[in-house]
Structure 1
Amino acid sequence: MQIKDEETLTFPGKLKRDLSRRSKDKYCRFHRDHGHDTADCYDLKQQIEALIRQGKLQKFVSKERTNPPPQEQPQRWDNDRPRPPISDIRMIVGGTTIGSSKKAQKTYLRMVQNVQLTGPMPKTTRRESPIIGFSEEDAQRLHHPHDDAIVVSLRVGDYNLHQVLVDNGSSADILYYPAFQQMRTGREKLVPTNAPLVGFGGTKVFPLGAITLLVTIGDYPQQITEDMTFLVVNCSSTYNAILGRPTLNSWKAGTSTYHLMIKFPTSHGVGELHGNQVAARKCYVAMMEMEDHLQTMNIEEHQRTTEPVKRLEEILLDDSVPDRTTKIGTLATPVARQELTALLKKNRDVFGWSHEDMPRIDPSVMVHRLNVSPSFPPVR
């Protein structure tokens, strides 16, 4: 190695794999151990690429080839092209990752704790992936400065689904019910789920169900086509769907809010999905107007339900017991109120003022039960 004397190069320890399973005919001068050749050392290649990106090892980099050679594109066959969509679903004007049981939640937390306590997981077969990066050229088509969200369009089944919010903070992929209805999939195909979603106005929202749909992103041939499980939610939103962490992680995608862009590795290089800045601002404005409208409706509804319908008059049922009273409405005529008062006083024995006044009640009339599982023994 010509760069072995460079101080920036960090030599690792010897290989941890069993020596009996390694080839003794191959020697790595970087690991100083048998098992593979130096030219095929993955760790060395990764460290050299990182040093070159940091501006180091420039004297070993050829100036004649500053850019990597373009990858050979395979011949495009007409049969490989996806069929055109049926129609478009445009703008309409908050998880199953860990499960709902406490046991599933504890297991989900324990998995990451075990990794942090025991160290790195055993190395598996690694596949060379293209390096994902963003440059100023990716942001040239945008209006700056901005704080816009990443709003993209996806191919979902036979439809182009627009106004899809890319949300790295969402632990689920959401499909709003109005968009689901336009796909004409049928509600009977929804798989029931009891995992609530938190974040829709600070309350828990239970999805109508889950559905798995075929999703395609990117331009051919740098595209990904995979099944994606959505939770269908019946809530008001200016978005048709939310793209959350489950799908972004499965695509190994990198997102940049500054560039309003998603990049992801494919077998034909790095694919790109650009956000629509105009659609993002339209959705934001529509959402603000929607919140004001909903808030006004809630206030008006609250005022209507809390306003008393009529005034009540308190009457005494037993002159010897001053605390035994009841109330009647005042909208009736004085004669009707007088007759009603006389009727209540005559039948005051039917009022129960204490537990002693209600002995031997038939269970068919009234019974009290504790809502507990009969399999659990009572504990005092």
Structure 2
Amino acid sequence: MVIFFEEADMEGVIYPHEDALVITLVIANSTTRRVLVDNGSSADILLWEAFVKMGIDVGKLRLSPMPLKGFSGDTIQPVGAITLPITAGTGAPTTTTMTDFLVVKASSSYNAILGRPTLNHMRAITSTYHLKMKFPTDGGMGEARVEQALARECYLLVEHRDVFAWSHEEMPDIDNKVIEHCLGVDPTHKAVRQKRRSFSIENGESGRPGRFIARSTDKCLPFFQVLRKACTLLRAKS
């Protein structure tokens, strides 16, 4: 099967661009977005947070044979390795293959990285210009299109990663001099709870919006009267 790209593959792509191939895959029956297709990666990588969200038993992880070495020379020891099925394809036809992932704990805007091992196994051809990956299947030529907005969202996360909180430990208290929000109510005033109402389409309330709004307004009136009284007392004290 001959795999080729043509002008029709440019449809929907915003030019000029320098966006990466960021696609959506189904990994172990879990729809996984923000998957980077990286021809330069010698391994298929699954980030720990994405692995946990899939609900897979940690006991299924195998020992990783070797550490990962990044472009900057940093070395990361994977948590383990696991073989999972992945399904690629935007629409039909699709292809499913078993992939050996290395599960790593690292800060990344991607949930997974699809490297050369799986790309070669799928016989996939990528085009960064067309933002598309194509591969042969029994039903014809399949393709995975890049969500360009999603790809640019990943760049935003990377560029401003110092201001994002990835965990609760990274969320210190904000100084009141920076921002402060105050509620204009009297904390000593007794709270009023509105009576719960049930809505029924069979009773025809959805077909009489004017009458419904009028009845709701009448029921809310006591609440607003109490709220106005509380705010008046608060202003008087201040």
TM-score, structure 2 length as denominator?
Answer: 0.66
Shift of 1:220: 5.9
- In the alignment of these two chains, the number of paired residues is 165
Shift of 1:267: 1.0
Query: Does 2:57 correspond to 1:177?
Result: no
Correspondence for 2:6:
135
Residue aligned with 1:290, SS: coil
Shift of 1:292: 7.3
Query: Does 2:12 correspond to 1:151?
Result: no
Correspondence for 1:280:
151
Correspondence for 1:218:
89
Q: 2:124 aligns with which of 253, 257, 273?
A: 253
Matches within 5 A, 1:50-61: none
Q: 1:227 aligns with which of 98, 104, 109?
A: 98
| Structure 1 portions without partners, runs of 5+ | 1-129, 295-380
CA contact (8 A) 2:90 2:145 kept: no
Shift of 1:221: 4.6
Correspondence for 2:208:
none
* Cα distance in structure 1, aligned partners of 2:58 and 2:112: 17
The code of the aligned residue for 2:125 comes to G
Residue aligned with 1:264, SS: strand
* Cα distance in structure 2, aligned partners of 1:138 and 1:171: 28
With CA pairs under 8 Å and 6+ residues apart, which has the higher RCO, 1 or 2?
Answer: 2
Residue aligned with 2:70, SS: strand
Q: Deviations over 1:52-92 (max 9, x none)?
A: xxxxxxxxxxxxxxxxxxxxxxxxxxxxxxxxxxxxxxxxx
The code of the aligned residue for 1:131 comes to V
Q: 2:69 aligns with which of 198, 219, 223?
A: 198
Q: Deviations over 1:236-283 (max 9, x none)?
A: 001000010000000001000000100000111100100111011010
Q: Deviations over 1:182-230 (max 9, x none)?
A: 0110211100013111116531111011011111112565211111111
Matches within 5 A, 1:1-12: none
CA contact (8 A) 1:194 1:206 kept: no
* Cα distance in structure 2, aligned partners of 1:198 and 1:275: 27
Q: Deviations over 1:165-194 (max 9, x none)?
A: 010000000000000010110211100013
Residue aligned with 2:99, SS: strand
Residue aligned with 1:179, SS: helix
Residue aligned with 1:271, SS: strand
Q: Deviations over 1:102-140 (max 9, x none)?
A: xxxxxxxxxxxxxxxxxxxxxxxxxxxx11000111012
Matches within 5 A, 1:17-56: none
- Give identity over the alignment, percent: 47
* Cα distance in structure 2, aligned partners of 1:250 and 1:233: 22
After superposition, the Cα gap between the structure-2 partners of 1:202 and 1:186, relative to the gap in structure 1 and judged at 3 Å, is: same
| Structure 2 portions without partners, runs of 5+ | 166-238
Query: Does 2:188 correspond to 1:188?
Result: no
Correspondence for 1:164:
35
RMSD across aligned C-alpha pairs, in angstroms?
A: 1.7
TM-score, structure 1 length as denominator?
Answer: 0.42
Shift of 1:157: 1.4
Residue aligned with 1:170, SS: coil
Residue aligned with 1:161, SS: strand
Query: Which runs of at least 4 in structure 1 moved beyond 3 Å after TM superposition?
Result: 291-294
